[in-house]
Structure 1
Amino acid sequence: MAHAFSIEDYLALNRNRFEEISKFIWQHPETRYLEFESSRYLADEFEKEGFTVQRGIGGIETAFSASFGKGKPVIGFLGEFDALAGLSQKAHSVSQEPLESGGNGHGCGHNLLGTGSLAATYAVKSYFEENDIKGTVVFYGCPAEEGGSGKTFMVREGVFDGLDAAFTWHPSYVNTIMSLSSLANYQVYFRFKGIASHAANSPHLGRSALDAVELMNVGVNYLREHVIPEARMHYAITNSGGISPNVVQSEAEVLYLLRAPKVAQVDDIYKRVCKIAEGAALMTETEMSIVFDKACSNYEPNRVLESILFDKLQTAGPIHPTAEEKTFAEGIWDSLSEGEKKNFVGGMESFGYSGDGSEFEGKFLSDIISSYEPSDKTMPGSTDVSDVSWVVPTAQLTAATSALGTPLHTWQMVTQGLSTFAHSGTLLAARTMAEAAIHLFENGSALEEAKAEHHQKRSKEPYTNPIPQSVKPSATK
């Protein structure tokens, strides 16, 4: 007979420990594939807890796995810990106060995400130890979600082979199931090489690489009318050729991020963009080279797993904020632009929320569990969780950790990353995922149902990893 072990009690008893882990990651914001301190710290923590840790998995130095148990089934939790460039920010502030000019910051809450998945994994291990459970629980330390598609590389290298189901979550300002698909994407550098010359004395001898970049961007902007409405085409000039206007720029580079609901659609747009780049090179008599950086697929939801997650989320119930937490959230709300305030429902919709937001009137924090309504819609963003969802049944939830309307990738998200409300939301996510995983360990039929759904989808649409084998993960290109 099972002992009366409570996941909720376990997480509450260890809250301070999990807060310290989250704080360490927040204080060491590292960008894609450079998460050396964060990765090492997390792996060390798992070893202290008695897990078997494998570092550098998938050929990625900052990727690791931590497992406990033996045999089947194998249930995994996906953890992230990378930060974003340029979002350094003081904690617990209602105004923008960078800790370091131009420094990094956890503007997507991955210090919380990684900690929540870690806490869920710890909780399941403790449940194993208190009960006679057969199977294996695994935490996957996944680097470079932001702009690096770390999980997609890991999928390509077979890291998730043998996994029976995967759970993860993401911080936001709503409590619900992330039931939407996502946009697939390619990220690609276009590099132009020309001939330097004196821009006044001998401009006719120069061939401007910067002109080529600008002409390419103009061409792509004209292409926007002739792609599917759901497509997104973003670019950043990563090398303008220097700061001297009296020199014809001999080198220039632009980085494109192309998105669409399906990989095949992204690939079609990519080929057209390549032709535009070739045209820009011809017009300027420059040389052009293409460096494929990374890619990811669209997310494939698993409704069986989502239903289990939602049941456990409802059972756990929402976090009821304190007066102090409400006051801080109101200060964050006041810092938002009018456009951001008006868009707060749209921000929740991208996480799977359906409704008009009226239940939040007069509030600055979510104190309810929002309904779960499976949808065929596509969120206007991308995630490398998607590629995991193509090779193993996968489900995600979101938990409220920030004030209503808080956009991701902003200083407001960073400053709330160590709040008591954020950590309460993190433990809500951890409890939900842990209890869902335990349900699968104890109910083989539920797991088989989730796997059958996954197999049915894959039989209709086979999976091909979108990153060419020749492309290797790197911090920069």
Structure 2
Amino acid sequence: MIEMSSPMEVKEAAFQYIDDNREWLSEFHLEIWDYAEPAFREYRSSSAYVRLLRGEGFEVEEGTGGMPTAFMATWGEGRPLLGTYAEYDAVPGHNQKPVPYRAPREGLHPYAAGHTDPHSALGVAALFGVLAAKYVMERFGLRGSLRLFGEPAEKVCGSKPVHAAKGYYDGADAYISYHPGYANYVRGEIQGGTYWSVLFQFECDDPVEWYGLTAVDATPYRRGWHSGGRVPAALDAVCLMYTLTKMSKEAMLPHTAYWTLNEFIMVGGQCTSDNLPPKISQVQYAYRSPTLSMQERITRVLENNARAAAEAAFSEVYERWITKTRVGLPNLVMAEVAYENLKLVGPPRYGEEAKEFAREVQRNLGCEPMSEPFLEYGLTYGGGEAEKPILSPGEMDGLLRRAHPAWVRNMGSDDYVDYTWHAPTVRFFTSRPVLRPLPDGRPYPWWVHVAMGGNPSTIDPCIITAAKTIAATLIDLLLKPEILRKAWSEFDERTDGGVGGSKWVAPLLPRDFEPPIELRWPEYISTPRGEEWWIPTLQNLKEYRRL
């Protein structure tokens, strides 16, 4: 334990470490950004983290929880054990180069994946926050342990409920959760809501029984005649499921709170358009809401619709869970510590190179470039320009409260919430680059946000602000044991007894849950044509005629 150095001196040393390694930080971020690998298929991204962490002296367990692209990296000895995590999954449909005009990456389908939030920045900020903390622990002789999880598939909330269910989060003293946002703030009482996702697989494995005919029946609609009738089968079952759910969605829950339901057809009959009955089809549903009881209600409707669709289409239906998250548990002690450190670091600042990139975007959209193209402090919740550099937990609660009824205590969704039930956890955001509105009122197209997330001059300030805030918060937790005592006292009170208490919510997935890595998730593949997106690269554009 240090005697002569103050917490501020230790923090300044951590900040200097990040500044001295800024070029390395930026290069590693671009490496992850360029991989742009989607959920459960982040092979190169996770490998890059593992190599780097092992090179820094961390003990790394790969494939945690049965997920090939997950990991757990630990360094140090003794208590406290402090953790955070990296995410690195990209989003299908957002293929874009880091340039100020629309340009997909060459050699890939235009709707391949890209980093939207961007999780590339999230992960690198957490990584360098931990590395900076490790540096000052070695330099000043601080005792404790650091842990960095590699969390794949956040876009489907896929890994954290699995890690939680299998015990990986148990035994820590505190966790820090970070995400790039549109302003600089710390969450207070109002934490993330719950996200569930389930897949329904329809199979029609015995279509000959549809008509109940014998093999010698001479009627023209008997099986084997391409001009005859056929069983509705699995694809029709998915279509019926889709339609039934759209029709019943309005009756599931009242629209007095933020909840959503979305779907994705993962297998669509395998292109059997030769009057042969599709034997397998899959549809995935993902839904988020403020409460677990609302999730259970949606589940009952979906399961009822699946049974009805299967019966009508002469199919069997199987249910396969993808994820179930809890809601977030607040910890105001942790929130206040992170808030003070975010204020100490200050908001991201953009140099002339970043401003010129933004101006070029505006020129390419046919607008007069602005001398100050960025909103200085980003956007507040609801879309207005943030008036303060840093929003406190209480101020953020007030903004979130405006849009929702009083009974709503959780909003949005992100699987970070599963950390919050295993140790005191803070959730904070730093602003990614946000452009001032265009004079004609048009919104900026999606590719602008993706491009700025891959341009060092525009995204590095967001990463560095977050990395310094994480490092400073870790330092406070290492040097001031009273913070952890107070944080755990609050945790125990909110759960009525801590982990296992009467108000504590256990993981929603069983401990023996097998993560859904076998499903047909979008990914990059290698064929005789080379490496490409799972949707083959468009070669003959002239054959596509717009209607």
User: For the superposition of Structure 1 and Structure 2, which TM-score range results when normalised by the shorter chain?
Assistant: 0.7 to 0.9
Which position in structure 1 is the counterpart of 2:33? 26
Change (3 A) 1:379 1:403: farther
1:443 maps to a residue whose letter is: K
Change (3 A) 1:475 1:333: farther
What TM-score do the two structures reach when normalised by structure 2? 0.77
Deviation track 1:12-61 (CA, whole Å, cap 9, x = no partner) reads 11101111111111122222232222212212212222223232333333
Whole-angstrom distance in 2 between the partners of 1:476 and 1:330: 44
Whether the aligned pair in 2 keeps the contact of 1:124 and 1:438 (CA below 8 Å) is yes
Q: Secondary structure at the match of 1:416?
A: helix
Moved more, 422-431 or 146-155: 146-155
Deviation track 1:217-265 (CA, whole Å, cap 9, x = no partner) reads 2222232222142332111222332252744444322111122212332
Larger Rg: 2
1:263 to 288, 292, 307: 292
Matched, 1:231 2:268: no
Whether the aligned pair in 2 keeps the contact of 1:79 and 1:168 (CA below 8 Å) is no
Matched, 1:396 2:427: yes
Q: Give the length in aligned residue pairs.
A: 459
Q: How does 1:307-322 map onto structure 2 within 5 Å?
A: 307-322=336-351
Change (3 A) 1:410 1:263: farther
Q: How does 1:75-474 map onto structure 2 within 5 Å?
A: 75-99=82-106, 100-101=108-109, 102-179=111-188, 180-194=190-204, 195=207, 201-203=227-229, 205-226=230-251, 227-229=253-255, 230-241=258-269, 242=271, 244=273, 246-330=275-359, 332=361, 353=380, 357-359=384-386, 368-372=389-393, 373=395, 375=397, 377=401, 381-404=412-435, 410-419=446-455, 420-459=457-496, 461-474=503-516
* Runs of 5+ consecutive residues of structure 1 not aligned to the other structure: 337-343, 361-366
Whole-angstrom distance in 1 between the partners of 2:415 and 2:436: 24
Whole-angstrom distance in 2 between the partners of 1:334 and 1:277: 50
Q: How does 1:50-89 map onto structure 2 within 5 Å?
A: 50-89=57-96
Which position in structure 1 is the counterpart of 2:522? none
Whether the aligned pair in 2 keeps the contact of 1:400 and 1:422 (CA below 8 Å) is no
Whole-angstrom distance in 2 between the partners of 1:358 and 1:153: 38
Whole-angstrom distance in 2 between the partners of 1:440 and 1:139: 16
Change (3 A) 1:199 1:233: farther
Change (3 A) 1:354 1:173: closer
Q: Secondary structure at the match of 1:381?
A: strand
Whether the aligned pair in 2 keeps the contact of 1:258 and 1:270 (CA below 8 Å) is no
Deviation track 1:311-336 (CA, whole Å, cap 9, x = no partner) reads 11111112222233224335557889
Whether the aligned pair in 2 keeps the contact of 1:51 and 1:67 (CA below 8 Å) is yes
Whole-angstrom distance in 1 between the partners of 2:479 and 2:516: 40
2:25 maps to a residue whose letter is: F
Whether the aligned pair in 2 keeps the contact of 1:207 and 1:250 (CA below 8 Å) is no
Change (3 A) 1:135 1:144: same
Whole-angstrom distance in 2 between the partners of 1:409 and 1:177: 28
* Runs of 5+ consecutive residues of structure 2 not aligned to the other structure: 209-222, 366-373, 402-408, 438-442, 497-501, 520-547
2:454 maps to a residue whose letter is: L
Change (3 A) 1:37 1:356: closer
Which position in structure 1 is the counterpart of 2:530? none
Change (3 A) 1:244 1:2: farther
Deviation track 1:120-166 (CA, whole Å, cap 9, x = no partner) reads 10111111112232211221122221215211111111111111111
Change (3 A) 1:168 1:94: farther
RMSD: 3.0
